Amino acid sequence: MDNTFTQALGASDHHRGRRLTADYRRQKILEAAKTLFFKNGYAATSIDDIIHISGGSRRCIYDMFGNKRGLFNALVRDASQEVFKLLDSLDATPMTAESLLCQSGERILMEMFSVEWNFMRVVIMESLANPDLTKLYHENGPILVEQKLGALLEKSSDRESIGLRDCREASALFVGMMRNAVYSHYLAFNDQPSSEEIRTLTHRLAHVVLYGLTQKNKAFPYNQQAHS
């Protein structure tokens, strides 16, 4: 084998190994930060606490994330990307606004109940002492999800016929109601609902949005048949 090619191949493998190492280190830091933020709160967690669990150094964290706020931002964005993957899976198939809200809502709510609640709890705990954290969470979490879902609603097959004029408004209302539902459920029950309960809740919220914002308010009142 040509020696130049061999050297280039070795350099490529070395670079790929460094990339994998960096990605692994990043993931370990994020996992440690998430565990501590969710358990102790944002303010009570220090960079040294995170290093104690993840290993590494302050320089490594500052190079990758800038500071503790950057760490929290990265966690929120990674969680949003998981929701984006769920929504992207619906993008290829034409569907009505009702079907889109119901299918996307079920998937988003499952993610909210498993992960999002912890972010909401941290933000609520820190909201008075750290209002910038609340803004960061909303700008890099819920608002991005609202934009993504709004873009999908723009493509819904019956958008024109049902008179859905402002898809971003519909998306913001839908996501906001889901967040409130998660918050209220945990305050009342402190557990995760069943998949059937999530499905029922999603359909109800979708009907509220369509009933309130479109011409379906005359033709599509909420009824139990929607759950069959």
Could you give the number of structural domains in the chain?
Answer: 2
- Secondary-structure breakdown of the chain: helix, strand, coil percentages, each rounded to the nearest 5: 80, 0, 20
Per-range mean pLDDT, top range of 131-135, 165-169, 191-195 = 165-169
- Token digits for 75? 């966690």
Quote the pLDDT of residue 82: 84
Identify the CA nearest to 156 among candidates 216, 75, 222: 216
Q: What type of residue sits at position 78? A: D
Among 23, 48, 66, where does a domain finish?
Answer: 66
Identify the CA nearest to 206 among candidates 153, 151, 157: 153
Quote the pLDDT of residue 3: 57
Query: Could you tell me if 136 and 159 lie in one domain?
Result: yes
For the domain that residue 10 is a member of, what is the CATH number?
1.10.10.60
Residue 2 has pLDDT above 70, yes or no: no
Quote the pLDDT of residue 218: 52
DSSP three-state, residue 18: helix
How many angstroms separate the CA atoms of 51 and 49, rounded?
5
Could you give the C-alpha distances from 28 to 44, 105, 146, in angstroms and in order?
20, 30, 29
pLDDT tens figures, 4-25: 544 544 544 445 555 558 888 9
For the domain that residue 180 is a member of, what is the CATH number?
1.10.357.10
Query: Could you tell me if 47 and 117 lie in one domain?
Result: no
Query: Could you tell me if 107 and 208 lie in one domain?
Result: yes
Q: Residue 108: which domain range?
A: 69-219
Could you give the C-alpha distances from 178 to 132, 172, 201, 223, in angstroms and in order?
23, 10, 9, 19
Query: Could you tell me if 26 and 74 lie in one domain?
Result: no
Among 48, 66, 84, where does a domain finish?
Answer: 66
How many angstroms separate the CA atoms of 30 and 142, rounded?
20
Query: Could you tell me if 56 and 84 lie in one domain?
Result: no
pLDDT tens figures, 147-169: 999 999 999 999 888 888 899 99
pTM (2 decimals)? 0.75
Write b or e for each residue in 46-63: b if 16 or more Cβ atoms lie within 10 A of its Cβ, otherwise e: ebebbbeebebeeebbee
- Token digits for 153? 């609603």
pLDDT tens figures, 56-106: 889 999 999 999 999 999 998 888 888 888 888 888 788 999 999 999 999
